[in-house]
Homo-oligomer: A and B are copies of this chain.
Amino acid sequence: MNAAESLTFALNRLHDLPGLSARLGTPLAEEDIAAILDEAARFAEERIAPGRMEADRQGCRLENGRVRTPAAYAALLKDWQEAGWQGVAAPAEHGGQGLPHALWAAVFELASSADMAFALMPMLTAGAVELLSHHASPDQAARFLPPLIAASWNGTMCLTEPQAGSDLSAVRTRAVPDGQGAFRITGSKIYITWGENELAENTLHLVLARLPDAPAGSRGISLFACPKILPDGRRNGVRCGGIEHKPGIHASPTCTMVFEEAEAELVGEPHRGLPAMFAMMNAARLAVGVEGVGQCARATALAEAYAATRVQSGRPIAEHPDVARMLGEMRAVTAAARLLALDCAVSLDRARAGDEGAETRLSLLTPIAKAWCTDRGVEVAGLGIQVHGGAGYVEETGAAQIWRDARIAPIYEGTNGIQAMDLVARKLPRDLPAFLALLDEAAAADPVLKTPARALADTARYLAEAGPDQVGAAAAPFLDAAGWVLGGAWLARAAAAEPGLAREAGFFLRRLLPRATARLLEAMAPA
Contacts and interface: CB of A to CB of B under 8 A. Distances in A.
Interface of A: 160, 165-167, 169-170, 190-191, 244-248, 312-313, 320-326, 328, 378, 382, 385-386, 389-390, 392-396, 400, 403-404, 407-408, 410-412, 415-417, 420-421, 468-469, 471-473, 475-477, 506-507, 510-512, 514-515, 517-519, 521-522, 525-527
Nearest to A506: B526
A294 to B, nearest CB: 18
Contacts of A393: 244, 246-248, 407-408, 411-412
Contacts of A190: 390
Contact of A386 (B400, B417, B525): B417
Contact of A473 (B325, B386, B514, B521): B325
Given A312-B167, A325-B476, A473-B325, A390 B160 contact: yes
Contact of A403 (B407, B420, B473, B519): B407
A378 to B, nearest CB: 7
Nearest to A249: B393
For this chain, the copies found in one complex come to 2
A357 to B, nearest CB: 29
A477 B408 CA distance: 27
A168 to B, nearest CB: 10
Nearest to A516: B518
Contacts of A246: 393-395, 400
B472 A321 contact: yes
Given A394-B244, A400-B247, A527 B324 contact: yes
A454 B63 CA distance: 63
Nearest to A484: B518
B468 A321 contact: yes
Contacts of A517: 514, 517-518
A64 to B, nearest CB: 22
Nearest to A191: B390
A444 to B, nearest CB: 22
Contact of A322 (B167, B378, B390, B475): B475
Contacts of A476: 322, 325-326
A325 B510 contact: no
A249 to B, nearest CB: 9
A166 B312 contact: yes
**Which has the most chain B C-beta neighbours within 10 Å: A248, A471, A472?**
A472
A201 to B, nearest CB: 29
Given A382-B378, A390-B411, A411-B385, A421 B322 contact: yes
Contact of A415 (B160, B325, B389, B403): B389
Contacts of A191: 390
A199 B326 CA distance: 40
5 contacts: A244-B395, A247-B393, A393-B412, A515-B515, A518-B518
Contacts of A386: 410-411, 415-417
A473 B389 contact: no
A341 to B, nearest CB: 21
A408 B394 CA distance: 10
A472 to B, nearest CB: 2
Nearest to A387: B417
Contacts of A323: 417
Contacts of A472: 320-322, 324-325
Nearest to A244: B394
B469 A321 contact: yes
Nearest to A382: B378
A512 B408 CA distance: 25
